[in-house]
Amino acid sequence: MQESVQAFIDYLSLEKGLAEQSCQSYRSDIEKFARYLEKSGKNPDQMRQVDLSAFLEYLRSRGMAPSSIARHLSSLKGYYRYLNRFGITAYNPVESISGPKLYRSHPGALTVEEVFGIIRMAQLGVESDSSNKKMTLRDLALLEFLYGTGARVSEASNARCDDLYAEMSLVRLFGKGKKERVVPMGKAAWKAVDDYLKYCRPKLAGPRSGALLFLNNRGGNLSRMGIWKILRKYVSAAGISKKVSPHTLRHSFATHLLAGGADLIAVQELLGHADIATTEIYTHLDKDFLVTEHREFHPREKW
The domain tally of the chain equals: 2
Residue 224 is a catalytic residue: no
Tens-place pLDDT, residues 123-163: 998 887 666 777 899 999 999 999 999 999 999 999 999 99
Residues 157, 228: Cα–Cα separation, whole Å? 11
177 vs 52, residue with greater confidence:
52
- Does the residue 19 lie in any domain? yes
Backbone φ and ψ of 170, nearest 5°: -125, 150
- Does the residue 107 lie in any domain? no
> Are 247 and 145 contacting, i.e. CB atoms less than 8 angstroms apart?
no
Tens-place pLDDT, residues 32-66: 888 887 787 776 666 777 777 888 888 888 888 77
Catalytic hit among 138, 181, 201, 250: 250
- Does the residue 157 lie in any domain? yes
Q: What is the CATH number of the domain that holds 268?
A: 1.10.443.10
Helix, strand, or coil here: 221?
strand
Average pLDDT over residues 253-272: 77
Catalytic hit among 134, 138, 152, 294: 152
Domain residues for the domain of 67 are: 2-85
Residue 247 is a catalytic residue: yes
- Does the residue 98 lie in any domain? no
Residue 300 half-sphere exposure toward CB, CA atoms < 13 A: 28
> Are 134 and 199 contacting, i.e. CB atoms less than 8 angstroms apart?
yes
Tens-place pLDDT, residues 187-237: 999 999 999 999 999 999 999 899 999 999 999 999 999 999 999 999 999
- Looking at the fold, whether 52 and 125 belong to one and the same domain comes out as no
Catalytic hit among 42, 101, 106, 176: 176
- Does the residue 103 lie in any domain? no
- Does the residue 90 lie in any domain? no
Q: Which amino acid is at 282?
A: Y
Q: Residue 169: left if φ>0, alpha if ψ -120 to 50, beta else—which one?
A: left
Residue 201 is a catalytic residue: no
pLDDT surpassing 50 at residue 278: no
Catalytic hit among 27, 273, 287, 295: 273
> How many angstroms separate the Cα of 281 from the Cα of each of 17, 205, 268, 271, 273?
14, 32, 9, 9, 6
204 vs 175, residue with greater confidence:
204
pTM over 0.85: no
- Looking at the fold, whether 119 and 38 belong to one and the same domain comes out as no
- Does the residue 126 lie in any domain? yes
Catalytic hit among 36, 58, 282, 287: 282
Residue 273 is a catalytic residue: yes
